[in-house]
Amino acid sequence: MARIAVIGAGTGAMAAAARLAAAGHRVAVYERAETYGGAVRRFERDGFGFDTGPGLLHLPAVFRDLFLKTGKEPLESCVGLSQVDPASRHLFADGTDLSLPAASRAGVVRALDAALGAGAGERWSGLLGRARETWEATRRPLLEEPLPHGGTAAPERGPRPPSRAGRGLFGLRRARPPRSLAELARRELRDPRLAALLESHALAHGFDPGTVPASAAVLPYLEHTFGSWYVRGGMRALAEALYERCRARGVEFTFGAEVTGVLVEDGRAAGLETADGRRVEAEVVVSGVDVRLLYGGLLPPEAGAPSPPRPSSGPPGHGRFGLLLALRGARPEGTAHRTVLHAADPEAERAGLAGDFARLCDRPTVTVLRPGDPGLLPDGRHETAVLSVTVPPHASGETAAEGTLDWTAGDRAERFADAVLAAAGKAGLDLESRVLWREIRTPADTERETGAPGGSVPGPALAGAGGAFLHAGNRAGVEGLYLAGGSAHPGGGLAHTGMSGALVAGLIVNGDDWRGSH
């Protein structure tokens, strides 16, 4: 039984802590904030409640496995879980209105043909069919196994082509495969609305469709195959259930305890040091904080970084802008849980993500979540809506990185909120006239609450692009130090961070030769 110290109480860190405690280890978690959950938080005011992080869960099997392996009560006995149906509604700039059913491939094909014209469903279904091949080829190394020591190995190929002679990636008669998801969409889908549908899945995960590899086509495949799920009471209820599971397994939590250093003795992690001068001895350390913080300040310089330094080579994450609306009037019957308002000018949107901030406030892609959850409302005469947009991260300090934006400058956040609300109105959603009050959340708020530099939100690991969309390996460059959370393998998102906790626990319990689950 080892003494294990965990830095941070985010989803990945708690997933590792629960599994390690269930395996018989003594686990203590040190969190600088006064609460758990990392980015999975809830904002409450006047009887209204809002998720300020992820609002939907994909791949719920990750948490079903976690709760099964760490206690007698399954996930569904700890939280109310329901599949979102329709899966999503899409409103395009030309007025097209599309609703996609859940768990029905044939239904999706029919809906696409009806809204976009005959053949649209077949093209979309064909693309997802080939994305399935990518999923099957990359699932184990990208999700179920730790990266090889050093953190560089990964599937370099993108989605496998259909077995037709003379065809390239995704069956295209071209010598060069598409360099990005946006290029893939233009080539294969041949309809700007279908292209926007594909690209919106990348944006929802914080990726720029113009730079993310074509392998990101697995993202809509996963949604269509495994569904989108809502936790009653919001995603914060899932964080609460995970925290309680950790407590039930004997995990100790210390909040308001900022870790300022990882102790290293004889080349091995030996514990932690906190801001109040406390030294915590441990035989194993699990870091759940952003790897840039770990290697940029928590580890002593002589400890060094892994070779090659994967923590600095991962993709720069974009941020998330959120507009929380408390609305007069009950949720209209038939309202979709999730509505995506597609950008009027996708090229301008990509330019804004790339640094052309003068065009940032053009009608962006906006995701609108309207759960209609009675537990998050003061009464049945009101409704909540959360509008979110993928945006550049916050310009943090005097050494702000290129491609960041100072979200605290002047009235920038207010003006962008106005633009987002106006975009909803132009798309036909009557929200502005019903607003009681609104709360704005920017990447600066994310940085303040989670410590992630710039408030960037890491995306899931993706194949291709020379490994540029991989994350830090779960074994650090110091023996006895392991990495979990969104900036570690296999990346960001609730399910992926849960997987990172499983990988770390497997490495600690079973040793470095452990290759993951089957």
Q: What is the pLDDT of residues 325-381, one digit of tens each?
A: 999 999 999 999 999 999 988 888 888 887 766 556 678 999 999 999 999 999 999
Rounded percentage of the chain residues whose pLDDT exceeds 90:
78
Residue 367: the pLDDT is 97
**pLDDT of 515 over the 90 cut:** no
How many C-beta atoms lie closer than 10 Å to residue 331's C-beta?
18
- The letter for the amino acid at 59 is L
Residue 332: the pLDDT is 96
Tokens linked to 399: 């050494």
Tokens linked to 9: 């109480």
DSSP 433: G
Q: What is the dihedral of CA 269, 273, 279, 282, to 10 degrees?
A: -30
- Which residues make Cβ contacts (< 8 Å) with residue 95, sequence separation at least 6? none
Question: Any idea which of 81-85, 274-278, 361-365, 441-445 has the lowest mean pLDDT?
Answer: 361-365
**pLDDT of 16 over the 70 cut:** yes
User: Does 289 or 400 have the greater pLDDT score?
Assistant: 289
State pLDDT tens for residues 109-164: 999 999 999 999 999 999 999 999 999 999 998 889 998 755 444 444 444 444 44
Asked whether 370 and 334 are in contact (CB, 8 A), the reply is: no
Asked whether 31 and 255 are in contact (CB, 8 A), the reply is: yes
Average pLDDT over every residue of 44-66: 96
Residue 148: the pLDDT is 72
Query: What pLDDT band is residue 477 in, cutting at 50, 70 and 90?
Result: confident
Residue 404: the pLDDT is 80
User: Does 303 or 67 have the greater pLDDT score?
Assistant: 67
Question: Any idea which of 76-90, 118-132, 393-407 has the lowest mean pLDDT?
Answer: 393-407
The sign of the torsion formed by the CA atoms of 366, 372, 378, 382 equals: positive
Residue 24: the pLDDT is 96
**pLDDT of 179 over the 90 cut:** no
Distance, CA of 220 to CA of 445 (rounded, Å) = 29
Residue 171: the pLDDT is 46
Average pLDDT over every residue of 387-414: 83
- The letter for the amino acid at 361 is C
Rounded percentage of the chain residues whose pLDDT exceeds 70:
88
Nearest residue to 463 via CA among 119, 157, 107, 106: 157
Average pLDDT over every residue of 251-260: 97
Residue 317: the pLDDT is 76
- Which residues make Cβ contacts (< 8 Å) with residue 347, sequence separation at least 6? none
Asked whether 246 and 16 are in contact (CB, 8 A), the reply is: no
pLDDT averaged over the chain?
Answer: 89
Residue 309: the pLDDT is 42
Residue 517: the pLDDT is 55
Query: What pLDDT band is residue 172 in, cutting at 50, 70 and 90?
Result: very low
Distance, CA of 361 to CA of 420 (rounded, Å) = 8
Nearest residue to 351 via CA among 392, 322, 320, 408: 392
Asked whether 350 and 182 are in contact (CB, 8 A), the reply is: yes
Task: Give the chain's end-to-end CA distance (angstroms, integer).
Answer: 26
Q: Which residue's structure tokens are 């998330």?
A: 320
Residue 316: the pLDDT is 54
User: Does 16 or 297 have the greater pLDDT score?
Assistant: 16
Question: Any idea which of 50-59, 139-148, 383-392, 428-437 has the lowest mean pLDDT?
Answer: 139-148
